[in-house]
Structure 1
Amino acid sequence: MENSNYSEIAEFILVGFSEVKEIRLFLFLMFLLSYALTVLGNMTIIVAYSLTQKLHNPMYFCLSNFSFLDICYVSATVPKTLSNLLAEDKTISFYGCALQMYCVLLMGGTECYMLAAMAYDRYNAICYPLLYSTIMTRRACILLIAGSWIIGALNSLIHTVLAFTLPFCSHKINHFFCDVPPLLKLSCTDTFTNEIFVFLVAGCVIVGSCILTIISYIHIISTILSIRSHLGRKKAFSTCTSHLTVVAIFYGSAIFMYFRPKSRYAKYQERLVSVMYTIIAPMLNPFIYSLRNNDVKAAVRNVLPRIIGTHRHKL
């Protein structure tokens, strides 16, 4: 039974958002603009970090890696979505779907623990300022980033293998990319085991990293409130507000998607929530960090004329 189903399902159809041509064209332009802004904004942060000596510290090392992750994250879904919005043929091969799911879950799981690592960095900077340089060494930062990628890779491997060993009775995925919940709905067999693993593994990754982030910020806020200087409190809060905003957008939408009751929300709500954490959040992240961070803004102002000047010189 399973073997026959595997031979029959050679490709899937990503239903996407709408069959109305005008709506698809509008969404194409919106997603194309979002993708361009995401890549440009995050690349600007990476270049600013690379070319500005002042930013060579643990906080901006984590931020530049986070920006690279965001570029990879949107690149796993948006190019195929843009193609499907213009094309009549919305198919994706069986293995292409598996690869897309693996990449999306890899980036999502890695981002969870990257946010926790950045919260840990702020915790040490504010709660233990005298020991900060001793705790957050270059080696410690690399281990935190590498650990985030390893956890993300294991999380995505488990979900992808479990999902694609199921027999499928339909090839129409009611979503704009290959994700676990919409794919489980296509299975011919009971998916209770898979759903339990989604709750357990996703719970460890999403909820676990969220709890670590919250614990860090409880200590951070407690320390900030004990600072007597109003200017000192304002500066400390300023460095944390942008990170908390990113955390709220990403974790809020991800938890809503993976931990809601199975049939409570319409399929269009699922896609809207998925757009929030796979497209909107990566687009907003560089602007949230740069607009509230004077060091990043100063670095970008210094770097952009150098890049433009070099480009003109080559021309």
Structure 2
Amino acid sequence: MDHVNHTWTWSFILSGFTATGALRPLAFLGALCIYLLTLTGNLFIIILVRADSGLSTPMYFFISVLSFLELWYVSTTVPTLLQTLLHGCSPISSTVCFIQVYIFHSLGLTECYLLGVMALDRYLAICQPLRYHELMSRQVQLWLAWATWVGGFSAALVPASLTATLPFCFKKVAHYFCDLAPLMQLSCVDTSWHSHIYIAVIGIINTCNLMFILVLYGGILKAVLKLPSAASRAKAFSTCSSHMIVVTLFFGSAFIVYVGPPEIRAEGRDKFIALVYSLFTPFFNPIIYTLRNKEVKEAIKRISQRIRAVWKRF
């Protein structure tokens, strides 16, 4: 009998961040510029790390992996954001919608693991300097990078598959991309059990990784404070500061949306907070890792000199 009142839908309509009048082209151009700058900045870091031998260290290898991840992460949601800003409410097929949910959360969980690996790298570099290159060999780097992707894409199967099996009675998604909470609000059935599963999977992974990072930074802080000079302490802290800023942006916004009070999702604030980790964090990452990093600035100078030398030959 319950099925009589259910209207099953095979497509959705994204309604988040629709703009009207003169605001629409301005919002579209602003989002497009940030998107293009994000792609350019992260591609620049990947090319720079591969082109300059001075950056052939584990830390910069993981930074380049993060940049590669950010290219896909931002490209998963921003095209639908641009579409809603340009055309208003935009239709999206259920298949594409569920694929977007899976890829978005796979990349998000992968980044969560990767930030933990990057903290481990800094811990070994500062607390185990004599054994650092042995412990963080090229083979270990590749294995850790591969493990983050496998772990992220495996864990995301649980929330994504559960969401795809829900019956949906409504079409309008109050977001600019397909996400777990907005989709559950459209379901014909009670989704409280699903919410507990989502929080358990995403919340536990995020919490465990954050605790792992905090424990490692506790060890780093203890080791740094034992260094003899203020200059050596400042240098050690400088290698961690960029990573700490990214961790704060990523985990802070993710916890507010997925583990925070239900009032945030009920009032639609989650889509504004989602901009932080889905658009602005990928945008700021290249800036954080370049402007605050002396080695990257020196690498840019070396590459610039090589390019000028090549141009002089012509």
Instruction: Give the TM-score category using the shorter length.
Output: over 0.9
Instruction: Look up the match of 2:113.
Output: 113
Cα gap change, 1:89 to 1:173, in 2 (>3 Å): closer
Report the Cα distance in structure 2 between the residues aligned to 1:2 and 1:74, rounded to whole angstroms: 40
Any stretches of 5+ residues in structure 2 without a counterpart?
none
Instruction: Look up the match of 1:50.
Output: 50
Deviations 1:119-166 (A, max 9, x none): 000000000100101100111111111111111101221111001100
- Answer yes or no: is 1:65 the counterpart of 2:65: yes
Alpha-carbon deviation of 1:4?
8.9
Instruction: Look up the match of 1:190.
Output: 190
Deviations 1:266-289 (A, max 9, x none): 544211100000000000001101
Q: What SS does the corresponding residue of 1:120 show, helix, strand or coil? A: helix
Cα gap change, 1:60 to 1:261, in 2 (>3 Å): same
Report the Cα distance in structure 2 between the residues aligned to 1:193 and 1:26, rounded to whole angstroms: 41
Q: Larger deviation: 54-63 or 87-96? A: 87-96
Q: What SS does the corresponding residue of 1:21 show, helix, strand or coil? A: coil
Query: Does the CA contact (< 8 Å) of 2:181 and 2:265 recur in 1?
Result: no
Q: What SS does the corresponding residue of 1:91 show, helix, strand or coil? A: strand
Q: Larger deviation: 67-76 or 79-88? A: 79-88
Q: What SS does the corresponding residue of 1:70 show, helix, strand or coil? A: helix
Instruction: Look up the match of 2:78.
Output: 78
1:199-214 aligned at under 5 Å gives the runs 199-214=199-214
1:1-150 aligned at under 5 Å gives the runs 8-88=8-88, 90-150=90-150
Cα gap change, 1:310 to 1:107, in 2 (>3 Å): farther
Amino acid at match of 2:112: C
Alpha-carbon deviation of 1:86?
1.0
Deviations 1:67-113 (A, max 9, x none): 00011100001112112211245011110101111111011000001
Amino acid at match of 1:215: V
Q: Larger deviation: 20-29 or 247-256? A: 20-29
Instruction: Look up the match of 2:238.
Output: 238
Any stretches of 5+ residues in structure 1 without a counterpart?
none
Cα gap change, 1:226 to 1:198, in 2 (>3 Å): same
Report the Cα distance in structure 1 between the residues aligned to 2:43 and 2:4, rounded to whole angstroms: 46
Alpha-carbon deviation of 1:43?
0.8
Deviations 1:151-190 (A, max 9, x none): 1101221111001100011011000000101111111101
Instruction: Look up the match of 1:298.
Output: 298
Report the Cα distance in structure 2 between the residues aligned to 1:3 and 1:306, rounded to whole angstroms: 69
1:268-287 aligned at under 5 Å gives the runs 268-287=268-287
RMSD, matched Cα: 2.4
Instruction: Look up the match of 1:160.
Output: 160
Query: Does the CA contact (< 8 Å) of 1:34 and 1:283 recur in 2?
Result: yes
Q: What SS does the corresponding residue of 1:177 show, helix, strand or coil? A: coil
Report the Cα distance in structure 2 between the residues aligned to 1:10 and 1:2, rounded to whole angstroms: 19
The TM-score normalised by the length of structure 1 is: 0.93
Alpha-carbon deviation of 1:8?
3.7
Query: Does the CA contact (< 8 Å) of 1:2 and 1:167 recur in 2?
Result: no
Q: Larger deviation: 97-106 or 80-89? A: 80-89
Query: Does the CA contact (< 8 Å) of 1:45 and 1:300 recur in 2?
Result: no
Q: What SS does the corresponding residue of 1:188 show, helix, strand or coil? A: coil
- What is the aligned-residue identity percentage? 38
Query: Does the CA contact (< 8 Å) of 1:253 and 1:277 recur in 2?
Result: yes
Count of paired positions:
314
Q: Larger deviation: 258-267 or 242-251? A: 258-267
